[in-house]
Copies of this chain bind each other. A is one copy, B any other.
Amino acid sequence: MTDSSTGDAPGATPALAVSTVIFSLLPQGETGRTALHIPLVRRIREPYRGLWALPGGPLGADEDLSDAARRHLLDTTALSPSYLEQLYAFGSRSRSAAERVVSIVYWALVSRENAAAGPAAALVQGDPNVCWFDADDLPALAFDHRTIVDYALWRLRTKMEYSRIAGAFVGSTFTLSQLREVHEAVLGRDLDPANFRRMVEASDAVVPTGEYLTGTKHRPPRLYRYNSPIDLDPSPLGRS
């Protein structure tokens, strides 16, 4: 945005799009175990016709970037995000042989409560070209979308280690088992329950509510909550 930014002939600048990597925790088809899932959209046109791609499209002339990301999320899953953050702008010349497009990509988390009704309920009904996939078992993706998903997975998993991002997957209150299940599903590995409990109790981010999970158990487990709302974006941009 300097003097020269308006000096070029129209069409010389690459086109601009916004795409979103959406994560949710859903039961795996075969095992029923909770696993990280991503909704993808099947392409019905060339290039890459028939392949799956991230939900996205052009930025509206009067639309903010994050609003475009929210719109794709709503259009694809009929849900609102519990967490939304800009991931990266992908603009390599080599990402498509067709028209050059720079994609500004967001990543979003959808909470268990939102997605509790199951995969089917969390998609726009009746569209066979929209489907949830296990994040660790994806089909071939169009364009450089595999690179984008791998980067989003890396960002999510890195952030799980030092931030309260797990709070965007659990509800407002949760048991330690539920919280551990979130960590296990995102990290893709089992965690020792006793170690996990010690780690959580050593931090002061998670506190007991004084209530217990109601249900069938003889000794119902304690419910916990985060001691403050999730800081959706700790940077100065998040505070503005």
Residues of B within 8 A of A231 (CB): none
**With contact pairs A3-B43, A5-B57, A56-B5 given, residues A64 and B86 touching in the complex (Cβ less than 8 Å):** no
Provide the A73-105 mask, 1 if CB < 8 A to any CB of B, else 0: 000000000000010110111011011111110
> Does A206 sit at the interface, judged by CB under 8 A?
no
> Does A55 sit at the interface, judged by CB under 8 A?
yes
> Does A138 sit at the interface, judged by CB under 8 A?
no
- Contact assessment for A99 and B43 in the assembled complex, using a CB-CB cutoff below 8 Å: no
Residues of B within 8 A of A61 (CB): 12-14, 100
- Contact assessment for B58 and A95 in the assembled complex, using a CB-CB cutoff below 8 Å: no
> Does A41 sit at the interface, judged by CB under 8 A?
yes
- Contact assessment for B101 and A1 in the assembled complex, using a CB-CB cutoff below 8 Å: yes
Q: Which of B5, B92, B154 contacts A17 (CB under 8 A)?
A: B5
> Does A202 sit at the interface, judged by CB under 8 A?
no
Q: Which of B2, B19, B96, B155 contacts A57 (CB under 8 A)?
A: B2
A6 to chain B: closest residue by CB: B99
**CB within 8 Å of B: which of A181-240?**
235-237, 240
Residues of B within 8 A of A3 (CB): 43-45, 57
A100 to chain B: closest residue by CB: B61
**With contact pairs A57-B4, A65-B89, A100-B61 given, residues A13 and B16 touching in the complex (Cβ less than 8 Å):** yes
